Amino acid sequence: MSDRTLLSLTGTDRTDFLQGLVTNDVTRPGLSYAALLTPQGKYLVDFLVLTGADEIVLDVASSHAAGLFQRLTMYKLRADVQIAESALHVRRGTGPAPDGALPDPRHPALGWRLYGPGQDDAAGDDGTDWKALRVAHVIPETGIELTPDTYILEAGFERLNGVDFRKGCFVGQEVVARMKHKTELKKGLVQVAIEGEAAAGTAITLEDGREAGILFTRAGDKALAQLRFDRGAGPLNAGAARIRWDGDRGAQARSE
């Protein structure tokens, strides 16, 4: 997977260091999903966390790897933590899992991920239509549905096992906890039906021109959209395309 970068965290303080920063519990061995947020509770970067006996490996989109490295270095201060690019590589698939592969913690449909020495490119491609799979199961992608103005609960992080409310403090925790326990989400990531052509990033509007959301990844006649629930009944447009939402809150409803 050439679009992923693996960062290695070593040192005696690595677990406590990361545990105090990210949205999920990284003390348990195995693979988990987490994000690093701003103090205001907004998304910075998401990644998979492989917690091993001697190191923690962060599996992050290559487009966001340098920013993650910089941010972790800023937080490190005097902690005994070394951060470097890992020598491991990752491949994924949805068919029979090879020995040593781990289930993707976000959703069973995402199959498995295998971490190990370098693999040839063919070994990392099993023909899965990942875009269609993401749309079918309302799974956001770094830099597409997940952007700096995102609140992670609106993107479905709880449903995707990306946030642990019992683990203790993390950066942005107060905002996330308040959204969870004291407010009702007014918008979120959902699957919509689409008829006609519209580019990702097109505003979704009511017929009177009021904005209702933003169109994102499309696969066939379905797409992902960030939608205001109070305006989702429509009729809705995205440029020349017609949008229809069935009322399923997708990223929220199944986590409650």
Instruction: Please give the torsion angle defined by the CA atoms of residues 70, 110, 150 and 65, in that order, rounded to the nearest 10 degrees.
Output: 10
Containing 67, the helix (H) or strand (E) segment is helix 62-76
Contact by Cβ (8 Å): 110, 139: yes
Q: What is the pLDDT of residue 47?
A: 98
Mean pLDDT, residues 173-180 taken together: 94
> Cα–Cα distance between 164 and 236 in angstroms, integer?
35
How many percent of the chain have pLDDT more than 70?
Answer: 94
Q: What is the pLDDT of residue 156?
A: 96
Most confident of 87-96, 133-142, 240-249: 133-142
Domains and their CATH numbers in the chain: 4-179 (3.30.1360.120), 184-255 (2.40.30.110)
Mean pLDDT, residues 74-99 taken together: 94
Among candidate residues 165, 160, 168, the one with its CA nearest the CA of residue 32: 160
- Is the pTM higher than 0.85? yes
Q: Which two tokens stand for residue 89?
A: 């590589």
**Residue the block writes with tokens 């070394």:** 82
Q: Given 3-state DSSP classes, what are the helix, strand and coil percentages for the chain, each rounded to the nearest 5?
A: 20, 35, 45
Q: Which two tokens stand for residue 71?
A: 């941010």
Mean pLDDT, the chain, whole residue set: 92
Model confidence pLDDT, tens digit, residues 108-157 = 999 999 999 875 444 556 789 999 999 999 999 999 999 999 999 999 99
DSSP per residue over 14-31, as a string?
HHHHHHTTSSS--SSSEE
